[in-house]
Chain A
Amino acid sequence: MSVTCTNITKRYFFKTALNNVSLSFEPGHIYALLGPNGSGKSTLMKILSGLTSKDNGEITVDGHPFTYRDKAFIAFAPTEFIFFDYMKIKDVAAYYHDYFKDFDRACFFQMIHEFSLTPDMKVRTLSSGMLAKLKIAATMSRQARLLLLDEPLNGIDLLSREEILRTILSHADSSRAIVISSHMVEELEATVDTAIFMQEGNLVLCSDVETLREKEGMSIVEKYRQIYGTTTMKEAI
C-alpha cells in the first residue's frame, strides 16, 4: 500500500504547522521522521491517521483519496497516553481486536510477555517505559500497511529503547511501511532506510540513507547536525 501526501498544509491560528509537504510512503521501507520540536512531525502523523484534518492538499492511498476506511490499514502509536482509565492490558487487546480486523491477539500477548508485562496490569499504573512497550505491542500486532510511531523511544531507558527497536525491526517486511519519528537520531541510524528532515512545517529533505552515505559521505546524525545546527543537536542526541 502506497500512501502519498501532496502539498499538505495545516495552519493553527497564526502558526503554520505544515507547509505544502509532499511525501510518499512505500511498502518495504522504514522511514525516520526527524526534526526539532514544532517541526510538524506529529501533525503529519495525525493527519495520516485521520485524527486531524488538513487545510489544503491531498492524501491518496494506492491512488484513491484517503477515507475513513483507510484507517483499517493504518496503525498509529501516538506519544501520549491514549488508553481509557478503566483499561487493563487485556482490555487494550480486546479493544484493538474489536475494531481492527488485522489485529493479531496471539502476537500481542507474545509481545506483552516478551516485554515482561502481564494482561491484568492496569494501564493507568504503568510506568512510561511500560506504556511505550504496550503502545508498540498494540500497534505492531496489527498487520497494518502503514505504521506510524510517534516518538516511541521518548522517556525510556536504553535497554527498553533497544528492545523496542528490535521489535520494530522484527516486524518490518516488504508489505508494510514504517514511519518512526524520534529525537534519538543516533539510535535510528541502524534501523531506518529513509530519512525525512522537517523544519518549521517544511520538508527539508527526504533521502535514502545509503544515498546520503555514498553521495554526501554523511550519516543521519551528521546530516541532522548540518540541517539543524548545534543548538538543536543537543536536543536531538
Chain B
Amino acid sequence: MLTTMKYEFMKNRILYAISLGTLALLQVVYLVMLPFSSIKSSNILIPLFLIFMAGTIIFFLIIINGISLFSRDLRSKSGYLVYMTPTPIPFILSAKILLVYLSSIIFTLGFFFLGLADLHLLILAGGKYLKDDNDLMPRVIKYLLDNFSTADVALKLLQGAVIVFNFLSTVYFSIGLSQTLLRNKRFGGLISFLIFIAITVFNSFVSHQISSNVLTYIFHVGLGVFCFIGTSYLLVRKIDL
C-alpha cells in the first residue's frame, strides 16, 4: 500500500510543488512587508489573507485532482500499470484515498498554521495595539483569539477530517459504479451522478435527524466505510479496463 501511495504521490508531485511554491512566495512577501508595515496598516493583511485563501484553494485542488486521477486510472490505459500489480484492490483504493486525504489535510493545515504563526508574529511585533478597537487588524486578531480555542480548533479539524473522508468515499463509489456496472451503458455517467446526489441528500437528511453531534459523525464515518467497501467490491468483481 505504501508503494502505491508513493507512486500516487509521484503523479501529484507537480501540484504539490506548485502548492509549496505558492506558500513560500506568499511567506516571503509577508516577511518582507512585515518590518515596513505598521500594525495599524491593513496592507499587511493582504498576504496574510492570501495565505489562508491559498490554503483553502489548494485543499480543493488536491481533492479534485485526486478524484480526477482515480477516474482517469479507471478510464485510460495508465490504469493498467496500477491494477496489473499483485496488490489487492482494496489496498490500491485505500492508498489513493489516503494520499488525497492526508495531502489535502496536511497542506491545508500547513497553510493554516503558517498563517497563525504569521499572525502571532504580528502580535509580537505590536501587541500594544491590540487594545485599540478602532483598527481593522486588532479587531481581526481579537476575533480569532476570542473565538477559536485549541479545543475548538481540534474539534473543527476532526469534523473536517470526517467530512472529507465521507465525501471522498461517496465520490469514489459513484465513479467506481460508472466505470464498472454502468460502463458502456447508456446514461451510465448520469445515473452514477444521480446516485452520488441521492447518497449526499440521504447523508444530509439523516444528519439533520440526528440530534447528537457524536452520532452524526459516527453516521458519516459509517456511510464512508460502506461506500469504500462498495467501491472495493465493484472493482474486485467488475473491473473492466
Contacts of A95 in B (CB 8 A): 7, 81
Question: Does residue A129 face the partner (Cβ distance < 8 Å to B)?
Answer: no
Question: Which A residues, 8 to 63, have Cβ-Cβ distances below 8 Å to chain B?
Answer: 12-13, 46, 49-53
The reply to whether A68 and B86 form a contact with Cβ atoms under 8 Å apart is yes
| CB nearest to B235 among chain A residues | A53
Question: Does residue A105 face the partner (Cβ distance < 8 Å to B)?
Answer: no
The reply to whether B77 and A81 form a contact with Cβ atoms under 8 Å apart is yes
Contacts of B80 in A (CB 8 A): 51, 76, 78, 80, 82
The reply to whether A86 and B11 form a contact with Cβ atoms under 8 Å apart is yes
Q: How far is the CA of A53 from the CA of B234 in the complex (A)?
A: 10
Q: How far is the CB of B189 from chain A (nearest CB, A)?
A: 15
Query: What's the tally of chain B residues with a CB closer than 8 Å to chain A?
Result: 26
The reply to whether A50 and B87 form a contact with Cβ atoms under 8 Å apart is no
The reply to whether A71 and B78 form a contact with Cβ atoms under 8 Å apart is no
Contacts of B239 in A (CB 8 A): 50-53
The reply to whether A68 and B89 form a contact with Cβ atoms under 8 Å apart is yes
The reply to whether A99 and B86 form a contact with Cβ atoms under 8 Å apart is yes
Contacts of B83 in A (CB 8 A): 50-51
Chain B residues with a Cβ under 8 A of chain A: 3, 6-7, 10-11, 13-14, 77-81, 83-89, 184-185, 237-241
Chain A residues with a Cβ under 8 A of chain B: 12-13, 46, 49-53, 68-72, 76, 78, 80-86, 95, 98-100
Contacts of A46 in B (CB 8 A): 241
The reply to whether A84 and B237 form a contact with Cβ atoms under 8 Å apart is no
Interface-central residue, A51, A78, A85, by most chain B CB under 10 Å? A51
Q: How far is the CA of A58 from the CA of B35 in the complex (A)?
A: 73
Contacts of A13 in B (CB 8 A): 184-185
Contacts of A12 in B (CB 8 A): 184
Q: Which 8 A-B pairs have the closest CB atoms?
A: A72-B86, A80-B77, A71-B86, A99-B85, A51-B241, A82-B80, A13-B184, A82-B77
Q: How far is the CB of A134 from chain B (nearest CB, A)?
A: 13
Q: Of the candidates B10, B14, B85, which one forms a contact with A100 in the assembled complex, judged by CB atoms under 8 Å apart?
A: B85
